[in-house]
Amino acid sequence: MQQVPAETDFIVVGAGVAGLRAAVALAEAGRVLVLAKQELTESATLFAVGGVAVALSDEDEIGLHLQDTIDAGDGIVNPDAARVLVEEGPERIHELLEWGTQFDRTGSKLTFTREGAHSRSRILHAHGDSTGREMGRALAAKAMTLPNISFCEFEFTADLILKDGSVAGVELIAEGGKRHNVQASSILLATGGAGQVFRDTTNPSVATADGVAMAYRAGAVVSDMEFVQFHPTALYVPGAPRFLLSEALRGEGAYLLNPDLQRFMPAIHPMAELAPRDVVARAIASEISRSTATDPVVYLDMRHLESTHIGKRFPRIYSTCLQYKIDITKDLVPIRPAAHYLMGGVKTDLYGHTNVRGLYAAGETACTGVHGANRLASNSLLEGVVYGARAGECMREELQSLTRNTVERDVESNAKDDPEKAEQAIRVIQNVMWRYAGVVRDGAGLQEAIVMISALRDRLPAPVSRRSCEARNIQQAASLIVRSAMARKESRGAHFRTDFPVHDDANFRKHSVMQTEKVSFE
């Protein structure tokens, strides 16, 4: 790792697949600084136990992948964005193979598996259930061979610095709390998602909506913030993180059992356990709320499946559950839904441009409309590499046209930190969001959430430490989510309201956008 420079050509905030792929594209045009707020290995990418979808098998076609992506998005996928994803996906995956990514194979051929809502077997995995980790490893290894790229770990990006409406640099907080600025006129936000806005999430602790919140503060337009995908099956062990139990487990034949140990999905959807994610998540939430047990739990049941195959196919899930004394091949596995993926984000075009000059976004931080109201399983790692590469190529072309503004190196602040207050505010927001803006929503609950989250803004500690900045970002993202969810008076994709339980195409077959407090649809 290197010293943080005072000035560079490109800054990439975030070291998941989107940020790393962009950095590789940028390296031939100038000095690239990749910032990670934790160690490089702590990103949503590295947590991805699912796979990467790509139309590369003999039985598949790009057009079919496109159609599945559009169908999953429930009426509002941006078709141009989805076409870019599926058409450029194969090239990005070939390139990853060239750079040493070890996807699983049967003999010498890549192994493609099938998941819910995919019409063909098109999901690649690596080491069974460590696909994101392997893609991240290969991309980081490639990036480290390029002398123009430097990495700085444990540097938290607190804010963007603007001069005359253009980005001029970033304000950083180092691990020990020291603040300093770095100057650059071209900045990519690839900070991942916003799972930490909710009490229960599959996301890592770093997923505190930093990119979307700092872009919004800088005047960027955000879009589709009401669309949060809840994964139906996160491990539910009190006191343990909500570890993701891949949909592929149900793809292999796992059943869902309610607190009375009965299967319930066959009565709810013709595809039973493989129904769309939002349908399964709502069915689980309903079984939990109907139960009279004290702490009701739904279970994944794999006891009827071939145990050696399950252990081999899901080594990471198997060993993680074993840490909690759960043998997934022999025991019932307690699960609950958890916030998993933000379809919305900083509004960008198909090259990562935001409306702020010099500011770009890619991956989960961005919203191109590629996922519409509901992301097709395993499309996010592909999105990261396709749109990360595009943003990097575009930034490379445009660097010379951007104005370089000088920023001060050192930042003095006399404000007092209050980590306890930050922690408390985060807990309150996470609970409010889980209760009122979770799997099932309604107008009264959302209104309650809007009032509580707004009131908290004035009680946040000054943003002087990393944690107090994260509290500010979580509050800001929560506010964007609840306001957008309130404005969308219908149900669509992952956004379900009991007071408006069906689509309203006439008014809402559109994307929500926010730049100031007001939500509009376009």
Which residues are at the interface with ligand SIN (CB under 6 A)? 50, 246-248, 377-378, 380
Smallest gap, in angstroms, from Cβ of residue 227 to ligand SIN?
14
Smallest gap, in angstroms, from Cβ of residue 36 to ligand SIN?
22
Distance CA 292, CA 49 (A): 33
Q: Which is nearer to ligand SIN, 113 or 424 (CB)?
A: 113
Distance CA 404, CA 474 (A): 31
Q: Which is nearer to ligand SIN, 139 or 244 (CB)?
A: 244
Cα 444 vs. chain centroid, distance in angstroms?
A: 27
Q: Which is nearer to ligand SIN, 162 or 197 (CB)?
A: 197
Angle at 409 between CA 405 and CA 414, to 5 degrees: 120
Smallest gap, in angstroms, from Cβ of residue 4 to ligand SIN?
33
Distance CA 34, CA 146 (A): 12
Q: Which is nearer to ligand SIN, 45 or 208 (CB)?
A: 45
Q: Which is nearer to ligand SIN, 12 or 376 (CB)?
A: 376
> Token pair 């943080």 is at which residue?
4
Q: Which residue is nearest to ligand SIN (CB)?
A: 50
Strands 512-514 and 222-223: antiparallel
Q: Which is nearer to ligand SIN, 230 or 351 (CB)?
A: 230
Q: For 368-393, give one letter per residue: b (16+ CB within 10 A) or e.
A: bbbbbbbbbbbbbbbbbbbbbbbbbb
SS3 of residue 25 by DSSP: helix
Q: Are 192 and 365 in contact (CB under 8 A)?
A: yes
Four-point Cα dihedral 261, 265, 268, 271, nearest 10: -170
Which amino acid belongs to residue 258?
A: N
- Give the pair of three-digit tokens for residue 331: 């025991």
- Within 10 angstroms of residue 290's Cβ, the number of other Cβ atoms is 12
Q: Which is nearer to ligand SIN, 149 or 285 (CB)?
A: 285
Smallest gap, in angstroms, from Cβ of residue 9 to ligand SIN?
33
- Within 10 angstroms of residue 109's Cβ, the number of other Cβ atoms is 9
Of 277, 282, 467, 492, which is the active-site residue? 277
Q: Which is nearer to ligand SIN, 143 or 254 (CB)?
A: 254
Q: Is 277 a catalytic residue?
A: yes
Q: For 43-70, give one letter per residue: b (16+ CB within 10 A) or e.
A: bbbbbbbbbbbbbbbeebebebbbebbb
Q: For 235-270, give one letter per residue: b (16+ CB within 10 A) or e.
A: bbbeeebbbbbbbbbbbbebbbbbbeeeebbeebee
Smallest gap, in angstroms, from Cβ of residue 135 to ligand SIN?
13
Smallest gap, in angstroms, from Cβ of residue 67 to ligand SIN?
18
Q: Are 458 and 475 in contact (CB under 8 A)?
A: no
Number of separate helices (H) and strands (E) present in the chain: 15, 21
Distance CA 522, CA 338 (A): 29
Smallest gap, in angstroms, from Cβ of residue 250 to ligand SIN?
8
Smallest gap, in angstroms, from Cβ of residue 233 to ligand SIN?
7
Active-site residue list? 277
